Amino acid sequence: MNKNNSPSHVNIIDEDAYAEELYNDLIESCSKHVKVKDIKLIRKAFDLAKESHKGIKRKSGEPYILHPVAVAKIVTSEIGLGAKSITCALLHDVVEDTEYTLEDIDHFFGNKIASIIDGLTKISGVFDNQSSLQAENFRKMLLTLSDDVRVILIKLADRLHNMRTLDSMPPNKQLKIAGETTYLYAPLAHRLGLYSIKTELEDLSLKYRHPKPYNETALKIKDNEKKRQQEINRFSLPIIEKLEKSKFDFDISGRPKSIYSIWNKMQTKSVPFEEIYDLMAIRIVFKSINNETEKAQCWQIYSIITDIYTPKPDRIRDWISSPKANGYEALHLTVMGPNGKWVEIQIRSERMNEIAERGFAAHWKYKGEKSNEGELDKWIRKIREMLENPNSNALEFLDEFKMNLFAAEIMVFTPKGDLKTLPKHSTTLDFAYEIHSEIGNKAIGAKVNHKLVSLNHILRSGDQVEIITSNKQKIQTEWLNYVKTVKAKTSITDAIKAETKDRIKKGKKIIEKKLKELNIHPSSKVFRKILPEFEVYSKDEFYSKIGSGLIKLDNLKKILKKNTKNKIIRYWGLQFSKSSSSSKDKKNNTTEKQQDKFNYTNPVIIRDNSDQEDTVKYEIAKCCNPIPGDEVVGYKNPKDNFIIIHKAKCPTAIRLMSSEGNFIVVAKWTSQKFISFLVKLSLNGIDRLGITSDITSIISEELSVNIRKIFIETHDGIFEGEIELYVHNVKTLNNLILNISKVKGVNLVKRKEDIAN
């Protein structure tokens, strides 16, 4: 919980009077969601919170009571929860930050509220050394999900208020909290159906992670506001007239897409703001008519709209026949507007709209109307199963959980007609593990719609799947590449670990027995001689390959007698020589020194939490390959304080901000022109004679840039290619891209992140 939030500095003279103002505002906000008799409970919680935090100030100078009251207000007015949740929101920091205990809360407010407060209180203790505190806390917090989802909803409200008031935090803390929000909390809000909260969390996170593009995009949206409103009115008028003639009671509104969604689309499609055409969406919310189903009314409105505007057939989303796992129901379509731009339209009933706006809170309200278990309840049950896996590492869980948060879903059938929901792009092997882990472990193939297919066959909605098993089947490592679901990945990983452990144990016994026969003690010196001969990099890998029969020890005696003094040992593609006298070794040593110079000549200033600039050892991350001009952050390895420089928008960096945010440091480029950085460009266009020569001429002769590698391939008059070259900074690179794009026939030039080492 963040105490240093608000950017404005105020001077509160009368703390009690200020607190009373906050309380009255809260009661006014929650009037729709609580009964008069519940006000007493809320007042009791407020008084305890005010007393507990009395005298504690935020960095803004405001009394700390502002934070729990603000969280309570979000809980009631933006999520729609009732008195117990408001009470818990008011008390959510009391046990963590004051002398009051859970037993005190239980005594004053009862077991249920104490249980929720327990879920909201920070968890401390001894964790696995390879897990981060944040990752383990998040994992344990989710354990409460199936017990009482209000814990998660209040936690999201807490995070939202912290994000709204993040300005006064130091930059490294802003990056940590913003990265954590993007990586976990925004997707979690999405999954629970809290779309407005999810959108605001994404926008605020972007504001702190990428302030310049955030401000530029926000300004462009504001500049277009008047024009956009005119377009909405022009577009909506004929729809309004037709709906009124058909006696619909409805509300129609237009809204711009969020700053984050526009920025994200600009990034993924490599296009400027001006080329994002679906900047607005129209929403129609109607009141249900007696004796007519909401579904029929949705399709009736759809029919009216498509009589006016031409729909895009591949952009119809029917979430009324099959609601999303978070309970979301709506009919979406995209039509061609009068100005030649695509416009998305969302059609919802008032009930559907409440679920979309309030998320799980509204889903709860309407859940009683359905006899079957809802998709969201099934998802929560699956999360519980994942969390209860004793072999689950916190960071691994975090990655797998994130992977499945945003997953679109398909619905497939068992041979008996039972319906199973899986993430989009799931395979037959995912389906096997969804049925039971033992079915997955023994799967050898499947029949999809009575046709024989492989285990990596991708399923589609409506498929009927039968798994074929064999007791002789053995789990394959490559199966991890076949599956999409957390359950399948976890089951396969656990089985492989168990099998590997057995092989290592078996292999160790074999080699120890063999060495004993040769009267040799198994020392590190012996293994340094043996491992390179078998082209393995660790003892565990060596033991495992012996245990599985991949390595035979028939010539072990001969290997141990060999003189390996001048042998070059290969590890992970790098060469290290054991002799320093040969010319080859001198060459290797020179290369190593040059590499060291490249890594540690300091084009980057690292600013640690202490705000002291220092010269530290670092390297450029291979996953995103940042160059001067890119926004960057540093990750300090806790084991050796070595720092890896990532792009701020790199997925790995975002994950690290979330799971190991305490090791994130601020980094910035210095102005230097002596070091070149390797970048890769991809390009395509219409092939013509001499186009390759024109491109290389611009790069080498006009711009004096060194090319490392160039590959151009043509097919049916179209060329595609990649160029690897060395540049000093982003400015040089952008200039280069601009000049190449002007070459006749070139259609697209863009930077790629991955660089071959």
Distance CA 523, CA 636 (A): 34
Instruction: Give me Rg for the CA atoms of the chain.
Output: 30
> Residues 133, 407, 166, 164: is their CA dihedral positive or negative?
negative
Distance CA 10, CA 21 (A): 15
**Residue 629 token pair:** 């001009």
Distance CA 45, CA 471 (A): 60
Residue 405's SS3 state is helix
Which regions of 518-663 does DSSP assign to beta strands (E)? Answer: 568-571, 574-577, 604-607, 613-614, 618-620, 632-636, 643-647
Where does residue 615 fall: left (phi above 0), alpha (psi -120 to 50 degrees), or beta otherwise?
beta
Residue located via tokens 């249920």: 112
Residue 278's SS3 state is coil
Distance CA 40, CA 44 (A): 6
Assess contact for 281 and 341: CB atoms under 8 A: no
Distance CA 694, CA 507 (A): 59
Cα angle vertex 408, ends 407, 412, to 5°? 115
Distance CA 508, CA 542 (A): 9
Residue from 661, 700, 499, 569 nearest 174 by CA: 661
Q: φ, ψ for residue 302 (rounded to 5)?
A: -55, -45
Burial of 612 (0-12, 13-18, 19+ CB in 10 A): exposed
Distance CA 666, CA 655 (A): 16
Burial of 594 (0-12, 13-18, 19+ CB in 10 A): exposed
Antiparallel, parallel or unpaired: β 718-727 and 677-686: antiparallel
End-to-end C-alpha distance for the chain, whole angstroms: 42
Distance CA 434, CA 379 (A): 12
Assess contact for 330 and 356: CB atoms under 8 A: yes
Distance CA 451, CA 463 (A): 11
CA 590 remoteness from chain centre: 41
Residue from 230, 182, 22, 292 nearest 652 by CA: 182
Residues 593-602: contacts with CB under 8 Å, at least 24 apart = 598/675, 601/674, 601/675, 602/670
Longest dimension (CA), the chain: 98
Distances (CA, A) of 757 to 298, 572, 678, 680: 54, 11, 10, 12
Distance CA 710, CA 78 (A): 54
Q: Across-strand partners of 682? A: 722, 750
Distance CA 181, CA 175 (A): 10
CA 705 remoteness from chain centre: 36
Active site residues: 96-97
Number of residues that make up the chain:
757
Helix, strand, coil share (%) of the chain residues, nearest 5? 50, 15, 35
Q: Across-strand partners of 181? A: none
Where does residue 450 fall: left (phi above 0), alpha (psi -120 to 50 degrees), or beta otherwise?
left
Amino acid at site 729:
N
Q: φ, ψ for residue 307 (rounded to 5)?
A: -75, -25
Residue located via tokens 């703001």: 273
